[in-house]
Amino acid sequence: MVNITKYLGRDETGNFNIRPGDWLTLPFALRQKSRLRATLDHGEEAGLFLARGTVLRDGDLLEAENGLVVMVRAADEDLSTAVTTDATLLAKACYHLGNRHVAVQILKNRVSYLSDHVLDNMVRGLGLEVTHESGPFEPESGAYHAHFSEQGDGD
């Protein structure tokens, strides 16, 4: 088993040569855990031992104690998506989902969340059509998370 202990962030420079299979594909629920036993895409067992509060995003790089560099990939998940060009309607949907502490992925003219028939009915009740799709889920990190990342330690 390989022990992954270091978060490297994103490879903006192209300096890392990630081999096919040296990926760790996880759903969002597991990308929020700092301690985790998982399996790399090529089948090797891995243990994650990262700083508390680390949230992994698609494309992040991690380093194992043996020097192996692994790329995080967001697994496909069952998503509910509402699309509209009506900004007020989209804002209402985001507000009501957020009011229920639902993680949401917001893109231009659309909001997605992990599929849930109760939430689907609520969003439909607001006047939006809900469709289901499979894809990676990258929800908003939250207002304070971005601030803490920029400051380094959250103080």
pLDDT digits (tens, 9 = 90+) for 8-25: 998 777 777 788 789 999
User: Domain limits at 33?
Assistant: 2-73
Q: In this predicted model, which residue has the larger pLDDT, 43 or 11?
A: 43
Instruction: Establish if 97 belongs to a structural domain.
Output: yes
Instruction: Establish if 143 belongs to a structural domain.
Output: no
Determine the average pLDDT of the residues in 64-85: 96
What pTM, to 2 d.p., does this model score?
Answer: 0.83
Instruction: Establish if 88 belongs to a structural domain.
Output: yes
Do 46 and 94 lie in one domain? The reply is no
Backbone angles phi, psi at 71, to 5 degrees: -100, 135
129-138 pLDDT tens trace: 999 999 999 9
Do 88 and 116 lie in one domain? The reply is yes
Q: Distance (Å, rounded) from C-alpha 120 to C-alpha 114?
A: 10
Report the CATH number at residue 15: 2.60.260.20
Do 8 and 57 lie in one domain? The reply is yes
What's the mean per-residue pLDDT of the chain?
90
Instruction: Establish if 148 belongs to a structural domain.
Output: no
Do 69 and 84 lie in one domain? The reply is no
**According to the model, what pLDDT value does residue 144 have?**
52
Instruction: Establish if 146 belongs to a structural domain.
Output: no
* Per-residue pLDDT at 115 exceeds 80: yes
**According to the model, what pLDDT value does residue 16 have?**
77
**According to the model, what pLDDT value does residue 148 have?**
37
Q: What percentage of the chain exceeds 70 in pLDDT?
A: 90
Do 90 and 122 lie in one domain? The reply is yes
Instruction: Establish if 152 belongs to a structural domain.
Output: no
Instruction: Establish if 54 belongs to a structural domain.
Output: yes
* Per-residue pLDDT at 152 exceeds 70: no
Number of domains in the chain: 2
Determine the average pLDDT of the residues in 38-52: 95
DSSP sequence for 101-143: T---EEETTEEEEE--HHHHHHHHHTT--EEEEEEE------H
Q: Distance (Å, rounded) from C-alpha 120 to C-alpha 101?
A: 15
Q: Distance (Å, rounded) from C-alpha 66 to C-alpha 22?
A: 13
